[in-house]
Amino acid sequence: MSYTLPELPYAYDALEPHFDTETMTIHHQRHHQAYVDNLNKAIAGTEAESKGLEEILKEISKYAPAVRNNGGGHYNHSLFWKILSGSPKTAPSGKLADEINKTFGSLDELKAQIKQAGLGQFGSGWAWLVVKADGSLSVVATPNQDNPLMDVNPANQGCPILGVDVWEHAYYLKYQNKRADYLDAFWSVLDWAAVEKNYEKALS
């Protein structure tokens, strides 16, 4: 299988003023494209060519670091773009809202835990909301382009339904070193409708 860069479901300027146009353009066209190109090179002529990306990630310990880094980069960004919107649903509802309240006490507490996970990730990485094997919700963080599908850290494993990129390339042009401000802005462009779809898929 040869991977391609997915188109964004909105214009590069759609997330202004929270995520700036220049960052979105560079992040998608250069960074994500590089992960796609390097993933294709890394799997060329190997058994991974015949497997789906999620299947590869779930047994990533079998593969070379280039597959781990670039396969993770492609998957993580593909999920990230889909949960953002210029006209987002601003709060969860239904089953997901109930589970968030049950697990974290409130939406504000979930946001605080994801912010803490993002700020606590030393260097580059991601903060995630995942559905665990038993159907419960958990907030986890992963370094670099790792994600909770991978078999490298059992404590972090789960099905990711929300992820926020805390690599500097995701925010540095607008927010410089103020990762906390970027994490606060994230909630203004997060589309809970997309997260709810991810949640229903994870449960099924």
Domains of the chain: 20-204 (3.55.40.20)
Whether 60 contacts 71, CB under 8 Å = yes
The model's pLDDT over 98-152, given as tens digits with 9 standing for 90+, comes to 999 999 999 999 999 999 999 999 999 999 999 999 999 999 999 999 999 999 9
Of the candidate ranges 21-25, 120-124, 151-155, the one whose mean pLDDT is the lowest: 151-155
Annotated binding-site residue? 28: no
3-class SS shares of the chain: helix, strand, coil, % to 5: 55, 10, 35
Annotated binding-site residue? 32: no
pLDDT over 90 at 85, yes or no:
yes
Percent of the chain surpassing pLDDT 90 = 98
Q: Average pLDDT of the chain?
A: 97
Annotated binding-site residue? 27: yes
Q: Among residues 109, 141, 107, 108, which one has the least CA distance to residue 127?
A: 141
pLDDT over 90 at 1, yes or no:
no
User: In 63-187, at which residue ranges do the beta strands (DSSP E only) sit?
Assistant: 125-131, 137-143, 159-165
Q: What's the average model confidence in pLDDT over 152-175?
A: 96
pTM: 0.97
Q: Which amino acid is residue 89, in one-letter code?
A: K
**CA dist list (Å): 145 to 44, 92, 121:** 20, 27, 12
**CA dist list (Å): 72 to 35, 65, 108, 148:** 8, 10, 28, 10
Q: What's the average model confidence in pLDDT over 65-89?
A: 98
Confidence of residue 18 (pLDDT cuts 50, 70, 90): very high
Annotated binding-site residue? 77: yes
